[in-house]
C-alpha cells in the first residue's frame, strides 16, 4: 500500500508567479506531497509543466501527483494521479497506470467514497470544506457537520482509506477537522500566501501530527 502524506499542497498561480514558482516555494517550505493542478492549458504545455515539476519534486524527494491527466502523469514519471468528479473512473485509471501508481479521487458524498474505494483509489479528497475561488463549479460545501456525518458513515461501513479534507481550509481549521476522523488536509493559498512558508508548513505538520482518537484509517 502506498503511504499517503497528511499534508497535500495543491499548486496555484497568480499574476506574479507561476505554478512552478509556487511548487518550488512549497518544496522549499517543507512540503513533500505536491499536486500539479492546472486548468485551461494545452496538453503540450501541461506536459512541459509536469516534466519540470517532476524534476523539482525529485530534487526535494517529494511526490508529484498530476491532476486529471493520466497520460501526462505516466509520461512525466509522476508518482500519482488525482481524478476529479467528472474525470476518468478510478478503475479505468488503474488499468492504464498499474498498481504502483498512487490514484486519488475527489468526493463530495459518502456514496462517492464507497465507489472510489471499491474501484481501488488509494485516497479520497473530500470537500469542499468551505467556499473557495480555487475551483470552478464548486460542489455543495460540507463544513464540519458534513465531514462528521460522512466520516461516521465511512467508519460504520468499515472503509479503511485515507480521506483528505480539501477546499478553503485554513491552518486554524485543522484540529477540528481531524476530530471528525479525517486523515489529512490539502492546502493551497494557506501555504502559497503565507508570510513565511517554512514556519507555516512546520506549524501545519505539527497540527497534523497530533494523535486522533476518532481516526478510522489504517496508515
Residue pLDDT, tens place only, 26-42:
999 999 999 999 988 88
Is 54 a member of any domain?
yes
Whether the CA torsion 19, 24, 25, 26 is positive or negative: it is positive
Q: Tell me which residues of the chain have a pLDDT lower than 70.
A: 1, 133-138, 212-219
- Domain ranges, residue 41: 7-208
CA 102, 142, 37, 13 dihedral sign is: negative
Q: Is residue 32 part of a domain?
A: yes
The verdict on residue 85 lying in a domain is yes
- pLDDT at position 219 is 35
Nearest-angstrom CA–CA distance, 181 and 1: 20
Total domains, the chain: 1
CATH code: domain of residue 69:
3.20.20.70
Q: What is the mean pLDDT of the chain?
A: 93
Amino acid at each position: 500500500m502506498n503511504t499517503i502524506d497528511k499534508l497535500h499542497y495543491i499548486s496555484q498561480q497568480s499574476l506574479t508567479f507561476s505554478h512552478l514558482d509556487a511548487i518550488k516555494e512549497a518544496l522549499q517550505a517543507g512540503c513533500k506531497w505536491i499536486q500539479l493542478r492546472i486548468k485551461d492549458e494545452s496538453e503540450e504545455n501541461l506536459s512541459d509543466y509536469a516534466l519540470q515539476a517532476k524534476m523539482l519534486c525529485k530534487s526535494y524527494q517529494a511526490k508529484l501527483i498530476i491532476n486529471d491527466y493520466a497520460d501526462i502523469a505516466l509520461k512525466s514519471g509522476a508518482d500519482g494521479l488525482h481524478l476529479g468528479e467528472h474525470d476518468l473512473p478510478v478503475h479505468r485509471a488503474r488499468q492504464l497506470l498499474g498498481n504502483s501508481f498512487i490514484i486519488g479521487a475527489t468526493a463530495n458524498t459518502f456514496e462517492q467514497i464507497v465507489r472510489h474505494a471499491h474501484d481501488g483509489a488509494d485516497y479520497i479528497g473530500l470537500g469542499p470544506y468551505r467556499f473557495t475561488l480555487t475551483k470552478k463549479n464548486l460542489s455543495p460545501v460540507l463544513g464540519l457537520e458534513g465531514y462528521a456525518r460522512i466520516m461516521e458513515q465511512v467508519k460504520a461501513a468499515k472503509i479503511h482509506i485515507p480521506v483528505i479534507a480539501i477546499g478553503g481550509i485554513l491552518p486554524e481549521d485543522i484540529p477540528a477537522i481531524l476530530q471528525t476522523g479525517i486523515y489529512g488536509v490539502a492546502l493551497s493559498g494557506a501555504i502559497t500566501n503565507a508570510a513565511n512558508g517554512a514556519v507555516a508548513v512546520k506549524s501545519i505538520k505539527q497540527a497534523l501530527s497530533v494523535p486522533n482518537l476518532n481516526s478510522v484509517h489504517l496508515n
